[in-house]
């Protein structure tokens, strides 16, 4: 009888301890269940992760974080700086002189009394497609003094002529221009030319100015993707040209 009473007392004292030992486990399971149904955000220490989570839609399972300034962000290749060496070219028949890259070749098919064209040598071309940049100057002698209005009218006519020489031709807006002591108009243009084997993409700038009773046209045509590299030649001609 004593042994029976002692066993009952022992069970009565131990049971609350066992129940208390299971309580935290029951709370953990409940917390996990809540966590599974409604996850809470985990704080991110500033500077430890360069990801913008505001761009992730909570309703779109396919949405992914967008990196801010990712490490593998491509760096654009800078355009090389043109470093031409120039020499002075003089044409007495056309009454002008100017500086041109000394390696550029004078096109023998041009009429030196009214048209000259310089072409960059193939060994120096920057365009992988193989288009050679060229600078063309044309001279027209008129019977009366020429004006800025005459220069603009001639420019409009030349643009129409050029449109027939290319596969596509898109001129820009015409604006006023000064070329040395002469004044006139200029515009940019984009063009393509398909020779049957490949299509060349080009960009150019043309200016026509009036000087005395003459009209002068200066035109640079270059690969479209390299135009900014070659425009320095146009600017060098403009700053060095002299009318005789």
Strand partners of residue 242: 97
63, HSE (Cβ side, Cα atoms, 13 Å)? 11
Q: Could you tell me if residue 149 is inside a domain?
A: yes
**For residue 63, what pLDDT is reported?**
38
Q: In the block, which residue shows the tokens 């001609």? A: 237
More confident residue, 22 or 11: 11
Q: Could you tell me if residue 76 is inside a domain?
A: no
Say which range, 49-58, 136-145, 182-191, 204-213, has the weakest mean pLDDT.
49-58
Measured distance CA(223)–CA(127) in Å, rounded: 6
Measured distance CA(214)–CA(179) in Å, rounded: 13
Residue pair 145/164 in contact by the 8 Å Cβ criterion: no
Say which range, 59-63, 67-71, 103-107, 160-164, has the weakest mean pLDDT.
59-63
**For residue 7, what pLDDT is reported?**
52
Q: Could you tell me if residue 150 is inside a domain?
A: yes
Say which range, 5-9, 79-83, 118-122, has the weakest mean pLDDT.
5-9
Number of domain units in the chain = 1
**0.75 cut: is pTM over it?**
no
The pLDDT of 14-37, averaged and rounded, is 39
Q: Could you tell me if residue 33 is inside a domain?
A: no
Burial class (CB in 10 A: 0-12, 13-18, 19+), 103: middle
Q: H or E element: which one contains 144?
A: none
Question: Residue 106 belongs to what domain range?
Answer: 86-243
Q: How confident is the model at residue 32 (pLDDT cuts 50, 70, 90)?
A: very low
Measured distance CA(207)–CA(186) in Å, rounded: 4
Residue pair 137/106 in contact by the 8 Å Cβ criterion: no
Q: Could you tell me if residue 1 is inside a domain?
A: no
Task: Extract the tokens encoding 37.
Answer: 């149904």
Q: What is the mean pLDDT of the chain?
A: 78
CATH number at residue 183: 3.40.1000.10
Q: Could you tell me if residue 21 is inside a domain?
A: no
Residue pair 180/238 in contact by the 8 Å Cβ criterion: yes
> What confidence tens digit (pLDDT) does each residue in 128-182 have?
777 899 999 999 999 999 999 999 999 999 999 999 999 999 999 999 999 888 9
- Beta-carbon contacts of 206 under 8 Å, excluding residues fewer than 6 positions away, are 155, 158, 159, 162, 186, 187, 189, 217, 218, 219, 220
């Amino acid at each position: 009888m004593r042994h029976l009473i002692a066993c009952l007392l022992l069970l009565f004292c131990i049971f609350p301890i066992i129940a208390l030992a299971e309580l935290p486990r029951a709370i953990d399971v409940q917390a996990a269940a809540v966590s599974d149904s409604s996850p809470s955000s985990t704080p991110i220490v500033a500077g430890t992760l360069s990801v913008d989570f505001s761009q992730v839609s909570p309703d779109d399972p396919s949405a992914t974080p967008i990196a801010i300034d990712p490490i593998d962000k491509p760096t654009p290749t800078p355009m090389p700086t043109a470093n031409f060496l120039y020499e002075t070219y003089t044409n007495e028949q056309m009454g002008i002189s100017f500086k041109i890259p000394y390696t550029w070749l004078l096109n023998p098919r041009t009429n030196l009394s009214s048209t000259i064209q310089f072409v960059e040598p193939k060994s120096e071309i920057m365009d992988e497609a193989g288009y050679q940049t060229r600078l063309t100057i044309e001279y027209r002698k008129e019977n009366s003094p020429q004006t800025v209005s005459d220069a603009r009218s001639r420019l409009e006519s030349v643009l129409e002529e050029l449109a027939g020489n290319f596969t596509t031709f898109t001129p820009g807006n015409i604006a006023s221009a000064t070329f040395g002591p002469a004044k006139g108009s200029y515009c940019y243009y984009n063009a393509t030319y398909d020779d049957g084997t490949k299509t060349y993409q080009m960009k150019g700038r043309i200016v026509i100015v009036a000087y005395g009773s003459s009209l002068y046209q200066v035109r640079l045509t270059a690969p479209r993707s390299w135009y900014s590299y070659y425009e320095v030649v146009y600017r060098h001609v403009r700053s060095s040209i002299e009318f005789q």
